[in-house]
Structure 1
């Protein structure tokens, strides 16, 4: 574990209730699984599930379009003001004054929009399920496809948010949420098509990565994206051997000889393949 890695992670840590996966790149059946297995050797393992579903949904909405460094204080401030061991967070947020909530979560960015979405989402949970506890039961026990479809019907909840709730609250295997890091990295590696959208990348990864490894693959890919395969200055740009995936990466959109880095969809190779 590096010094930057938290002792307690958003999956619920060792209390999360998941099953630890084995990581052996030599036995992987697909290139995507090789990548996840190497990440398993590089980073700490996690278990999944165990989070309260509505709290997880709130946390993920706060994280949209911002960093964990910015959204975590907003989440902590929200819980301090509106949460508590005996408090139904959905009921508390549904009754919140939006301007007060916006001020509380201001560190997360887009706080006016997010406060509006959080109040509306809390009202939806109460209307549809009656309480945050009943919503949690639906997420953990309902059919995954139904839970995902239901979450996606809520304003402000996109595929990544829905999948994070399924993974971190529901503890569902085979769920590989796709954020900007995941979307960039697997297209850059050539595992997903260069012009694939987020849902296309998710389909590839959930097909080619074993069920038990998808959750870890998501979180470890994010860590890899922060430390090695960044958007503008990937490690391979200056030193091809600096990246642990160098031998299996196609470097789509990365050109060490010129120092240029572009989105994979804009790479000449991608343009030529479409003609």
Structure 2
């Protein structure tokens, strides 16, 4: 199975192209007929989307980015992230235009220093204004400052936190992240995957939660953690990172919450023959949560 994209791959998707992050890395498909359902699904997604491995993002910036993305879209959270980095991030970062780094609104305490230290000292109303495009900006600004204070106090700096996430035992890192107020399982797993580059980590967002139960590789009543455990126990470690991003993209392209592609045309979904369609009723046009369908 190649590492390129198929002819019908979307021009932009979260698991492919330069903007998707990570590094191209092909994995071998499991051709056994009794392969776990989730592996068969991910293998097929590997024919449609870019196969990638992840890791290398700055851990604290990844944590901040994930907080900004909570309960909002990428379209809304990305400008907030960019504005935050322009105002509080190290001025030497190559990711931002020079005019942003010299913006008169830039926090003078950021300088060439550390993002966690700068945000720990941030004036909350100023930070809230900076990230306002992400929504829930008052709550998110409080969370970011609280996390920055903890990272500064426990790890000394964003660099110290990055070393902890990258080098320590993954279970230890996950437990430490979950001990931070405002960090849930998905956020912790995103930091482990996108910053730590850890194999075997499959973050569960709303798309993954819905698709895993709808397709039948997790119980209909499984919560987010139960879905994660079901997937990670069946899927080879090296396929988890790609599986996460590709499943999200599949949810956006085909397996939508209210209007899955199979509702009108079973052939429209590339996973039709693998899917249990739990909670999807093409005959009536009804779509319900898989847990409700199990009642």
Q: What is aligned with 1:4?
A: 12
- What is the Cα deviation at residue 23 of structure 1? 4.4
SS in 1 for 2:182: coil
SS in 2 for 1:26: coil
- Cα distance in 2 between the residues matched to 1:103 and 1:46: 35
- Cα distance in 2 between the residues matched to 1:92 and 1:9: 27
User: Could you list the per-position Cα deviations for residues 37-72 of structure 1 after superposition, in whole angstroms to 9, with x for gaps in the alignment?
Assistant: 011111112221110100000001111111111111
Matched, 1:162 2:205: no
Q: What is aligned with 1:77?
A: 83
Q: What is aligned with 1:88?
A: 114
- What is the Cα deviation at residue 25 of structure 1? 5.1
Relative to the length of structure 1, the TM-score reads 0.93
User: Could you list the per-position Cα deviations for residues 127-178 of structure 1 after superposition, in whole angstroms to 9, with x for gaps in the alignment?
Assistant: 1011110000000000100000000000110000000000000000000000
Q: Is the 8 A contact 1:195 1:264 kept in 2?
A: yes
1:30-69 matches, cutoff 5 A: 30-69=36-75
Q: Cα 1:21–1:211, aligned 2, differ >3 Å: closer, same or farther?
A: farther
- What is the Cα deviation at residue 2 of structure 1? 1.3
Q: Out of 144, 149, 161, which is 1:135 matched to?
A: 161
Q: What is aligned with 2:98?
A: none
Relative to the length of structure 2, the TM-score reads 0.87
Q: Is the 8 A contact 1:23 1:41 kept in 2?
A: no
Q: Out of 215, 226, 236, which is 2:252 matched to?
A: 226
Q: Which consecutive aligned stretches of 4+ in structure 1 deviate over 6 angstroms post-superposition?
A: none
Q: Out of 15, 22, 31, which is 1:26 matched to?
A: 31
Q: Is the 8 A contact 1:160 1:179 kept in 2?
A: yes
Q: Is the 8 A contact 1:25 1:38 kept in 2?
A: no
Aligned alpha-carbon RMSD (Å): 1.3
Q: Which runs of 5 or more structure 1 residues have no equivalent in the other structure?
A: none
